[in-house]
Amino acid sequence: MTTALFTHPACLDHDTSPGHPERADRLRAVLGVLERETFHLLDRQVAPRAERAQITRVHHPDYVTRVFDAVPATGYVGLDADTIISPGSGEAALRAAGALCAAVDHVFAGYSRTAFCAVRPPGHHAMPGGWGGFCLFNNIAIGAAHARSVHGISRVAIIDFDVHHGNGTQAVCEHDPGLFYASTHQAPLYPGTGERTERGDYDNIVNLPLRPLSGSPEFRDVMTRRILPALDEFRPELILISAGFDGHSNDPLASLHLVEDDYAWATRKLVECARTHCDGRVISTLEGGYNLKALAASTAAHVRELLCA
């Protein structure tokens, strides 16, 4: 059974202004590498728009309205120092969140066991009531909420190996015993959250901050000793991955030293866990990753494991 790929050209039209690291070329690099022969059998799907009701399972209705009201007819609007939007941003955000919901439906319908959402803007910094860190809507949390509300499951795990802590995703998960959130991230670094002591109301948050210059040994150690056992104990009915590749050694925004093989290894472990607990169901979505070559190579390693593990 193959892996589904959900994306939409509108995600290329979210223009964040010249010089911004979270740029359309990132998605072009990802889609380019997924044209290789290895990925010929990916089940390519067009991401639909998320419905407002899917987004408001996670975000306050007035926040959703504020986002769309802020989208300019021309030019750029800086929602904060990092989060810049332009005329195409609203449609891109709808397709990014819609990709996750559609991927959930696709996997629960049995068309594929795994899926990758090649989308932007990313989502893991978006709070229920606020944007931040290039993110408008929390795509992965919207996917988790959709799975629980439509497909009758109660436990969804989100694993986040982006180099930044997913403060938005943690905010959605920390008071909800049906959600599990585990993150490896560099500390200190934006957004400054994600200490080990932040464990959620139900011990359902696992934060593993890594010191700058940490690499494969440290990453694999915390995955093996902390995240995978906690995930096993949670017994997920669906595993979602916030796949940011900015922990790569060549990434310009952080100082970890992960390599492509670390992402392949982590993906393999998560697919194995999914096979034990939830019939192999894994849905991954693109978060960060700002060196185009490293991003493309890491995505290829990650998606190949979704396809073959």
Partner 1 sequence: MDKTDHDQTDPTPATLDARGLLCPLPVLRARRLLQSMPAGATLVVTATDPTAARDFEAFCAATGHRLTGTDQHDGVYRFRIVRADAS
Residue 304 CB, shortest distance to partner 1, in Å, is 7
Spacing of C-alpha 246 from chain mean position: 12
Residue 141 CB, shortest distance to partner 1, in Å, is 31
Residue 194 to residue 182: CA distance in whole angstroms: 10
Nearer to partner 1 among residue 2 and residue 216 (C-beta): 2
Residue 186 CB, shortest distance to partner 1, in Å, is 30
Residue 235 to residue 154: CA distance in whole angstroms: 10
Residue 260 CB, shortest distance to partner 1, in Å, is 13
Residue 300 CB, shortest distance to partner 1, in Å, is 11
DSSP-derived secondary structure for 163-223: SS--HHHHHHHTT-TTEEEEEEEESS-TT----TT---TTS-EEEEEE-TT-BHHHHHHHI
Smallest CA-to-CA distance from 81 within 167, 166, 17, 24 is with: 17
Nearer to partner 1 among residue 43 and residue 91 (C-beta): 43
Give, to the nearest 10 degrees, the angle between helix 260-277 and helix 292-308.
Answer: 30
Nearer to partner 1 among residue 62 and residue 261 (C-beta): 261
Cα dihedral 113, 271, 178, 92, rounded to 10, equals -60
Structure tokens at 127: 């709070």
Instruction: Tell me which H or E stretch contains 116.
Output: strand 114-117
Residue 213 CB, shortest distance to partner 1, in Å, is 30
Cα of first residue to Cα of last residue in the chain, in angstroms, is 11
DSSP-derived secondary structure for 32-48: HHTTSGGGTT-EEEEPP
* Marked catalytic residue, from 8, 59, 125, 185: 125
* Residue 125 is among the residues annotated as catalytic for this protein: yes
Instruction: Tell me which H or E stretch contains 307.
Output: helix 292-308
Nearer to partner 1 among residue 41 and residue 213 (C-beta): 41
Nearer to partner 1 among residue 22 and residue 305 (C-beta): 305
- 208 φ/ψ angles, rounded to the nearest 5 degrees: -125, 80
Residues that bind partner 1 (CB under 8 A): 37-38, 40-41, 304, 307-308
Nearer to partner 1 among residue 40 and residue 152 (C-beta): 40
Catalytic residue numbers, as ranges: 125
